[in-house]
Structures are given as structure tokens and as C-alpha cells.
Amino acid sequence: MKNIILTITLLLTFLSCDKEVKSESQTGIIEAGDAKSLAVDAFNDAYLANDMTGQEALFTDDAIANVNSQKMTPSEMMDAFMGGREFYNDIKNNDRATSTFTFEGGAVYTSTWFDWEGTSKSTDVVVGNPVHAWFKWDGDKVSEVAYIFDSAEYVANMGQ
């Protein structure tokens, strides 16, 4: 009899663990390793590889890019990022984390965080900078992107 009661208790315990608990303030889901997160990682990897060829295909025709509140096209953003290679070597994205957020209202964003690092060609100073970026999806294309970082040390070590 003790074994039956113990078995029933254990069974009920395991069954109750399968229920998803959602707080009243939770909205949507967060995924890592999904297709959209992998696409954003591939975009950042293309930058690191110094070859943004084909990355325009990630964006809608009328996509907007914001880099520290400077509005531009995604092509202009990529050109600006690649232009930094004139001033920096050994560029890395350390400790990168990327996840896609799907909100209950239907909006989908992929966010990526990393520590940008590069060695200034003119000062030989290793510059590190935390970066946050989000990509707003419209279907399978990005309609808006924003990169946010403190550019002061980056600019100060560009040289003349």
C-alpha cells in the first residue's frame, strides 16, 4: 500500500512539473538558435570576415538603419561599419549573445549583444566597447535595425 501511495505521489509530482507557468506580466517568447537569430549572427560574422557581400538581402527595400540615432539605409550602415577597418585591426565581437523575441501582438525582434574590440592602427590602443543591436522583422526580412554603442573611445583612437 505504501508503494502505491508513493508511486501516485511521484506520478502527480512529475505531471505537475509539465505545466508551463506564465506570469501575468510575461508577453511572448524568446528563442536562441532560431533562423532569425542565426541570420543576425551571420550578418555580424560577415562584418568580422570583412565581407558584407549579399547582406543587403537581409533587409526590406525600404528598411531603416539607426546607428546611435543616426538614420541611414542599411547599405550606408554597412559601408560605415566597413569603413572603420581603415582605422582598426583585429576586430572581434566577444561574448556575443543573440535571441529572437516574438511578442504576443505579433512583433518580432532579434537582439544581439557583444563586446566590440579592435586595435587602433594609429595609436595601437585596444579599444573595447559594449554594443547592443536590434533587428525588427517584417516576415523574413528586416525592416528596421538599430546599433547602440558609445563611440567616444572608438573615434578618439582613429587618428588623423
Task: Let me know: does 28 contact 104? Beta carbons within 8 Å.
Answer: yes
Residue 43 pLDDT > 80, yes or no?
Answer: yes
The residues with which 66 forms a beta bridge, in sequence order, are 71, 146
Task: Let me know: does 40 contact 140? Beta carbons within 8 Å.
Answer: no
Rounded to an integer, the average pLDDT of 60-83 is 97
- C-alpha cell belonging to residue 127: 579599444
Per CATH, the number for 29-50+80-160 is 3.10.450
* pTM strictly above 0.75: yes
Which pLDDT value is given to residue 7? 55
Which pLDDT value is given to residue 78? 97
- Break the chain into its structural domains and give their ranges: 29-50+80-160
Question: What does the pLDDT look like over 115-155, one tens digit per residue?
Answer: 999 999 999 999 999 999 999 999 999 999 999 999 999 99
Residue 75 pLDDT > 70, yes or no?
Answer: yes
